[in-house]
A and B are shown apart, each in its own frame.
Chain A
Amino acid sequence: MPTPDAAAPIVEVKGLRKRYGTNEVLKGIDLDVKAGEVIAIIGKSGSGKSTLLRCVNGLEAFQDGTLHVQGRPLEHANAKAMRALRQHVGMIFQSFNLFPHLSVGKNVMLAPTLVKTTDKAAAEAQAKALLLRVGLADKFDAWPDQLSGGQQQRVAIARALAMEPSVMLCDEITSALDPELVGEVLRVVESLAEEGMTLMMVTHEMNFARKVSDRVLFMHAGRIHEMGPPEQLFDAPQTAELKQFLSALH
């Protein structure tokens, strides 16, 4: 197995096509993501943005094209390969998906103890450190339903970080939050970006995308319609669709 070249893209998408039945939702996606890059994906609902993200960690299977993460291709039929992939690619969901029957600390510790067979003490120490990092050091023994939405999402981030991924996928992670709770989550994501984590985020938070991302992708009807640095996309949109999308936001 060749070791991934440091300059090679960490996520490489070529000609990706995905159908639901007869409905084609991704019509040929080409994308290279470099290590440490922060990509924001914007677009109308139904444009395929979440579907593209979910292809990267295999929650959605695709019919045509190739997808490589760290030089390794996605093999949907191979459960072992998919699990190996998911140890390097973490995901945060719009609806948090914390496990309600486990405390916050146990939520964070579960996967490392089961999958990486970390011993309990080490996993606990790691969990405490991660919770401190997301600003929830005192919530180790709390239960998910005792936390606010913003707190739950930060726990979800800590839970994903516990697996020490190389890439983090964020699927509209603030869309289900009350407005006053959005900031605390975005601050954590910003700190991840500053530390050099490769991020792919589907988001509606345009100001945040402008501030934090290296590249913005505008998706429309299953294709990457426009792509470029945030200033270019937000200040000088080229296509009518992007212009219309941006004006509808104000």
Chain B
Amino acid sequence: MQLDFLAVLAEWPALLRGALVTLVLTAVATVGGLALGVACGWARAWGARPLAYVAGAYVELIRNTPFIVQLFFVFFGLPSLGVKLTPEIASVLAMVINLGAYAAEIVRAGIEGTPRGQIEAARSLAMNEWQVFMRVVLPPALGRVWPAMVSQIIIVMLGSAVCGQIATAELSYQANLIQSRNFRAFEAFIVATLVYLLLSVALRHALHWAGRRFVFGR
């Protein structure tokens, strides 16, 4: 058994490109998924009954089906409805829809933990419901649930490896290309796996910092 890592490491520019694509996909999915998650979390906690049901059905459907099936449905299934998507767009869309459902539950737990007095104080200051939610309820709520949210974002980042199956040029796709050329499958995937590990550690730190700085910070 002869392992040749150099053959794989020599292709580092391709791996770097793949890692960057993974990060960009994750970044866009995070912004979209968080927004969708906040909207659905609000709908489930405080929205009118029909809205809460729709949001609930969406959340349960996504959380009880595999991401790869959601991805295939978006990329292969939607074109029969006339919606043709590039692999990148399909990947981002599937990731946003996926993260949105998990984020909705996390956000819901956060906002349901809001002390009643906070809302009463904000209303007593004549703030409207949008202002009460965005300025007084949401920031501390996100602060409370941020660790869970960060974990979920990392799960989505790792799940994006599947997007290589529809030819999105992210990290696992690049690793696959490399091994198809030099037949060093084991080495290629070890290297890619280690890069993913690095990305998840780095992303965790970056998200914790970003949360404090931009979302709920002091």
Contacts and interface: CB of A to CB of B under 8 A. Distances in A.
Contacts, number: 66
A93 B218 contact: no
Q: Is the interface of B mostly helix, strand, loop or mixed?
A: helix
Q: Is the interface of A mostly helix, strand, loop or mixed?
A: mixed
B121 interface: yes
B124 interface: yes
A115 B123 CA distance: 11
B117 A160 contact: no
Interface stretch (A63-71, A83-91, A221-229): A83-91
Interface residues of A, number: 27
Contacts of A163: 125-126
B216 interface: yes
Given A83-B127, A99-B136, 11 more contacts: A59-B123, A83-B128, A84-B126, A85-B126, A101-B218, A111-B122, A114-B135, A115-B125, A115-B127, A115-B131, A160-B125
Interface in B46-85: none
B151 interface: no
Interface string A86-118: 110111010101111100000000110011000
B129 A87 contact: no
B135 A91 contact: no
Contacts of A57: 124
A93 B115 CA distance: 13
A6 interface: no
B9 to A, nearest CB: 46
B143 interface: yes
